[in-house]
Structure 1
Amino acid sequence: MGWFLLRRRREPSYRFAQRPARIGLIRGLLGTVFLLSAVVLVLGALSVYQYVQLSADRPVARVDVAADGPQQFRVSLTTPEGRTQEFVIAGDQWQLEARVIRWRVPVALAGVPPIYRLDRLTGRYADIEKERTATRTVHALDGWTLPDLWSLQRQFPQWLPFVDADYGSATFLPMLDGGVYQVSINPRGGLVATPADEATKARLQRTGW
Structure 2
Amino acid sequence: MGLIWWILPAIAAVIGLMLLFAGFGKLAKLKAGSGAFRLTFGVAFLALAGVVAFAGLNLQTYQRLTKERYAANIKFEAVEGEENAYVLDLTFSDGRKLLEENGAQPILRGNEFEIGAQVIKFKPMANMLGYDSIYRLDFIEGRLSRRFTPEAVTEATTNGIALAANPGFDVHRMAQEQGGRFGIDAQYGSATYQPMGDGFEYVVNISQDALIARPSEATKVLIQKQRYPGYSSTQESSQ
Count of residue pairs the alignment pairs up? 152
Which of 122, 146, 159 is 1:103 aligned to? 122
**Cα gap change, 1:111/1:176 in structure 2, threshold over 3 Å: closer, same or farther?**
same
**Structure 1 counterpart of 2:117, one-letter code:** A
Tell me what 1:61 maps to: 72
Asked if 1:185 corresponds to 2:206, the answer is: yes
Which of 90, 97, 121 is 1:84 aligned to? 97
**Cα gap change, 1:159/1:166 in structure 2, threshold over 3 Å: closer, same or farther?**
closer
Asked if 1:174 corresponds to 2:198, the answer is: no
Tell me what 1:140 maps to: 162
**Cα gap change, 1:116/1:159 in structure 2, threshold over 3 Å: closer, same or farther?**
closer
Asked if 1:112 corresponds to 2:131, the answer is: yes
**Cα gap change, 1:106/1:127 in structure 2, threshold over 3 Å: closer, same or farther?**
closer
Looking at structure 1, the residues matched to 127 and 75 of structure 2 have their Cα atoms a distance apart, in angstroms, of 36
Deviation at 1:135, TM superposition (A): 3.9
Where in structure 1 do 4 or more consecutive aligned residues deviate above 3 Å?
Answer: 104-111, 129-135
Contact 1:66 1:178 in 2 (8 A): yes
Deviation at 1:132, TM superposition (A): 5.0
Per-residue Cα deviation, 1:17-37 (whole angstroms, up to 9, x for no partner): xxxxxxxxxxxxxxxxxxxxx
Q: Which sections of structure 2, spanning at least 5 residues, go unmatched? A: 1-64, 99-104, 229-239
Looking at structure 1, the residues matched to 188 and 165 of structure 2 have their Cα atoms a distance apart, in angstroms, of 20
Contact 2:114 2:191 in 1 (8 A): yes
Deviation at 1:91, TM superposition (A): 1.4
Looking at structure 2, the residues matched to 171 and 72 of structure 1 have their Cα atoms a distance apart, in angstroms, of 20
**Cα gap change, 1:80/1:107 in structure 2, threshold over 3 Å: closer, same or farther?**
closer
Contact 1:66 1:176 in 2 (8 A): yes
TM-score in terms of structure 1 length: 0.62
Per-residue Cα deviation, 1:122-165 (whole angstroms, up to 9, x for no partner): 112111239954542131101333132112233xx247632311
Tell me what 1:194 maps to: 214
Contact 1:181 1:194 in 2 (8 A): yes
- RMSD (Å), alpha carbons: 2.9
Q: Structure 2 matches for 1:143-154, cutoff 5 A?
A: 143-154=165-176
Contact 2:78 2:198 in 1 (8 A): yes
**Structure 1 counterpart of 2:209, one-letter code:** G
Higher helix share: 2
Q: Structure 2 matches for 1:5-84, cutoff 5 A?
A: 56-68=67-79, 69-84=82-97
Looking at structure 2, the residues matched to 123 and 107 of structure 1 have their Cα atoms a distance apart, in angstroms, of 36
